[in-house]
Amino acid sequence: MNQDVNSELQRCREEADRYRLLAEQSTDMISRHTATPEWTYIDVNPAVERVLGYSVDEIIGTPGYDLFHPEDADNLVKRAKSVRYRHGMYTNVYRYRHRNGHYIWLETTSRTIRDEHGEPVEIICVSRDVTERELAQQATRRLARVVEASSDMIMFCKHETLQLTYMNEAAYITLGTEKENPVVFYLDQLFDEELLASLVRPALSHAADHGTWYGSIPLQIPTNPKRTAEVREIIAHRNRTENMKVEYYSIIGRDITLKRKAEEEAKRHQLEMAHMSRLLSVGEMATGLAHEINQPLAAILNYCRGTQRRLDEGLTDIDTVANSMLLITRQAKRAAEIVRRMRSFVKKTEFQRIEFPVNEACREVSRFLYQEAIDHNISFEFMLDESDPKLLADKIQIEQVLLNLMRNAIEAYSDCDKRYRPVIISSRNAGGYIHISVEDEAKGINREELAKLFEPFYTSKSTGLGMGLAISRTIIETHGGQLWAESDGKTGTQFHLKLPLKDK
């Protein structure tokens, strides 16, 4: 009997030794605590030094409660979100003070040991350092909050099916749906068939090959047609743990409804300003235009009176009358052409890109200024590109700029006593751009005035608003070009404009 008891005791000792050996070799911290609010350390395995920096002897007898972060000390009592309960064991994630003074994140599973009366005797805990995991999760949560709060549309799309598996708040709003009642979207619902084939699929392929794609592809929003949006970036995400194949894409888009409205408003404002500028220009040329129209009208009147006298005198030569009618018709066409040019110039129009020859536009504007040039003893001289290049632009607005530049060149001679007064208009096709210059040989413009020349409301004239050159520069820049002036302040001024050609 005694032998059986001794054998059982020996077996228990060996089993206890094995458990102690297992506890001492474990990388997790295994500790025993008093079942009191102080949670004092009774025993702990050597892993405590690696986890908390204390030796076994240092920490035994230490109140464990004192090492909790103040915000996490009562997690178990409050049943915080970080506490989980299962089968009589609690798992808690909390911050705990290291021997060096900083806090680490611990994940502890604890069980209370009770006597036969159900009274707590001690608490056994198994703890591990989960600082890296917790910091990574915090970073992920922060990133998720940033993604959710972003004003850009952010969507996750499956590689194979092209189904959208996630959309942030901005994407839901733009697509006109709600998170509470989600709608399953596929990419073919957000792009028409042609765009999907010609732009979207190549963009996905580029992202798959190079990691990212940048560009601009307009979105089709079936549930919210009043909104305008576009895809700006696509990022490919690969399965790095297995086969490195693309798993899904992050698609980043932007709602540009307000931007488009602002652009349209700015364009309307620019058209209004350009129209006003043309009206002011015609108003300033009113005297010259009236004189120019009066010339063919006076000629018509003279031909009519001459023909009437001949008829009164009984001369009914058909050839003479026919010749008079021919001359009258020619002068009437001349007057009609002057009126046509003026009406075309002042007409309020929408922005219209058409293809037209640059050289002819230069000559047509000079004809519009014919009378003003005569009155100021100005001669137009042309040095135009023989290839006769064509522009794809708003013809009326480009002619408006040319008119402003030519009138400035004419007016530059107003306080100049030179007898020879040329305005030289040249065009040149170079590097995919058309270069047009309007040059005078008057007194020139000094450096201070040259710097202010294109500022709104700046003018050196006694009359005028000083908006002509400012509007002209805006028009040219809207067409993707440049407008600038050069002068030595002594022998004249050159205005240069550069515009991309049709094929550019």
Q: What is the three-state SS of 141-173?
A: HHHHHHHHHCCCEEEEEECCCCEEEEECHHHHH
Query: pLDDT class for 204, splitting at 50, 70, 90?
Result: very high
Identify any residues that bridge with 248 across adjacent strands, giving them in sequence order: 158, 237
Return the bridge partners of 153, or none. 253
Domain ranges of the chain: 2-136, 150-255, 265-500
What are the pLDDT digits (tens) for 15-36? 555 556 566 678 899 999 999 9
Greater confidence (400 vs 198) lies with 198
Res. 504: pLDDT tops 50 = no
| Comparison of pLDDT for 494 and 88, the residue scoring more | 494
Under CATH, what is the fold of the domain 150-255?
A: Beta-Lactamase (3.30.450)
Q: What is the pLDDT of residues 43-88, one digit of tens each?
A: 999 999 999 999 999 999 999 999 999 999 888 888 878 888 888 8
In Å, the largest CA–CA distance within the chain is: 169
Q: How buried is residue 88: exposed, middle or buried, by Cβ count under 10 Å (0-12/13-18/19+)?
A: exposed
Proportion of the chain above pLDDT 90, given as a percent: 23
The CATH code for residues 2-136 is: 3.30.450.20
Predicted TM-score (pTM) of the model is 0.46
pLDDT digit string (tens) for 305-324? 777 776 777 666 677 677 77
CA distance 47 to 366: 95
Beta-strand pair 433-440/482-487: unpaired
Paired strand residues for 436: 427, 497
CB 479 within 8 A of CB 394: yes
Instruction: Give yes or no on whether 2-136 and 150-255 have one common fold.
Output: yes
Q: Do the beta carbons of residue 285 and residue 372 sit within 8 Å?
A: yes
Report residue 39's pLDDT band, with 50, 70 and 90 as the boundaries.
very high
Q: What is the mean predicted confidence (pLDDT) over 327-337? A: 73
265-500 is classed CATH 3.40.50.300: no
Backbone phi, then psi, for 497, in 5-degree steps?
-130, 145
Q: Cβ contacts of residue 496 below 8 Å, gap of 6+?
A: 435, 436, 437, 482, 483, 484, 485, 486
Measure the CA–CA gap between 153 and 430, rounded to whole angstroms: 42
Asked whether the beta carbons of 157 and 203 are under 8 A apart, the reply is: no
